[in-house]
Structure 1
Amino acid sequence: MMSSLLPLISEILPMIMPASANITRAKQLEPTHPTVEGPVIERPAVVGKCDNMCVTVLTTRPHSKSTVRHNSEQDTIIYAVSGNGVLIVNEAVNSELKHHDLAPGDFAFVPAWIEHQVKNDTDEDVQWLMIQSGSTPIRADLTEWGGDVIQSKN
Structure 2
Amino acid sequence: MSHQDHVHDHPHDSHDHVHPNEEQDTGDRWKHNGVRVIKGDRLDSNTVQTPGMFRQAAISHARVGAQKIWAGTVTIQPDAKTGVHHHGELESVIYIVSGRARMRWGDRLEYIAEAGPGDFIFVPPYVPHQEINADPDEPLQCVLVRSDNEAVVVNIADVEPVEKPDAVYWVDPIHKHP
Q: Which runs of 4+ in 1 moved over 6 A?
A: none
Is this contact kept in 2: 1:53–1:133, CA < 8 A?
yes
Aligned counterpart for 1:45 among listed residues 58, 76, 85 = 58
Match of 1:65 in 2: 81
Q: Are 1:23 and 2:38 an aligned pair?
A: yes
- 1:110 deviates by 0.9
Is this contact kept in 1: 2:109–2:129, CA < 8 A?
no
Compare CA radii of gyration and give the structure with the larger one.
2
Query: Is the alpha carbon distance of 1:63 and 1:139 closer, same or farther for their aligned partners in structure 2, counting shifts above 3 Å?
Result: same
Q: RMSD over aligned Cα, in angstroms?
A: 3.3
Gaps of at least 5 residues in structure 1 are 31-35
Task: Identify the structure with the greater strand proportion.
Answer: 1
Is this contact kept in 1: 2:102–2:132, CA < 8 A?
yes
**What TM-score results when the alignment is normalised by the length of structure 1?**
0.69
Q: Distance in 2 between matches of 1:141 and 1:58?
A: 20
- 1:66 deviates by 2.7
- 1:146 deviates by 4.7
Query: Is the alpha carbon distance of 1:141 and 1:41 closer, same or farther for their aligned partners in structure 2, counting shifts above 3 Å?
Result: farther
**Matched residue pairs, number?**
137
Identity of aligned residues (%): 20
Is this contact kept in 2: 1:40–1:64, CA < 8 A?
no
Task: Identify the structure with the greater helix proportion.
Answer: 1
Q: Are 1:84 and 2:100 an aligned pair?
A: yes
Q: Distance in 1 between matches of 2:158 and 2:141?
A: 23
Query: Is the alpha carbon distance of 1:27 and 1:118 closer, same or farther for their aligned partners in structure 2, counting shifts above 3 Å?
Result: farther
**What TM-score results when the alignment is normalised by the length of structure 2?**
0.61
- 1:106 deviates by 0.3
- 1:24 deviates by 4.3
Match of 1:133 in 2: 147
Q: Distance in 1 between matches of 2:118 and 2:41?
A: 17
Gaps of at least 5 residues in structure 2 are 1-8, 20-24, 161-172
Match of 2:18 in 1: 12
Query: Is the alpha carbon distance of 1:145 and 1:26 closer, same or farther for their aligned partners in structure 2, counting shifts above 3 Å?
Result: farther
3-state SS of paired residue (1:59): strand
Is this contact kept in 1: 2:44–2:58, CA < 8 A?
yes
